[in-house]
Amino acid sequence: MSPIRALEKYAAVKGLRIVRCNEHHFQIVGGPLLVNYYPMTRNSSAYVAGTRQAIKHVTPERAVEMAMNAPKVQAPIAKKRPTLTKHKRRLMKKSRLCYWCGVTTFDPERDGPCDRNIVATVDHKIPRSRGGLDHSNNYVLACKKCNEGRANEMPELRNTEPSFSN
């Protein structure tokens, strides 16, 4: 069976769609994570969108699993200390709602005192320790409670189906 047919078969089982970007690049969409897959290249690589490391020699089955499961926790990353104030302001202009729980967040510097659990913070959709990028495309506005409670976990993926078994 060709890698493309196998990819379509495994994706259909999980209720995912395959989008052909060009002859070598496919995207697996419809699951919790977007996966870019290159089955026709020499290394058959794949990566979760928003992460920094491609995985080589990926089978179609593994590519579909990557769309359903959180990336593994990696070695600790040296913390950068950039100011996230401009990103917080930009995110708060779009919406003041926490990305995870939907509560209205506040900025104590701008709005005055508020409950410390609903202070606006900047969170990474895909945690840096799981390979997420330290980039504005990976930033979301979150209340302090959600940001601290989530840590480097990805609880939004807990309700996924079990992995394929051979």
Encode pLDDT of 78-128 as tens digits. 665 556 677 888 888 888 899 999 999 887 777 777 777 788 888 999 998
CA nearest neighbour of 144 among 88, 76, 83: 88
Q: Is residue 33 part of a domain?
A: yes
Q: What is the CATH number of the domain that holds 63?
A: 3.30.457
Is 59 in the same domain as 98?
no
**Which domain covers residue 112, as residue numbers?**
85-152
Distances from the Cα of 131 to the Cα of 29, 144, 163, angstroms: 19, 22, 21
Within a domain: residue 160? Answer: no
Number of domains the chain contains: 2
Using alpha carbons only, give the angle 16, 124, 88 rounded to the nearest 5 degrees: 125
Identify the sign of the CA torsion 92, 93, 95, 96: positive
Could you tell me if residue 163 is inside a domain? Answer: no
Give the pLDDT confidence of 114-136 residue by residue, as tens digits. Answer: 777 788 888 999 998 888 888 88
**Three-state secondary-structure class, residue 20:** strand
* pTM for this prediction: 0.60
13 in any annotated domain:
yes
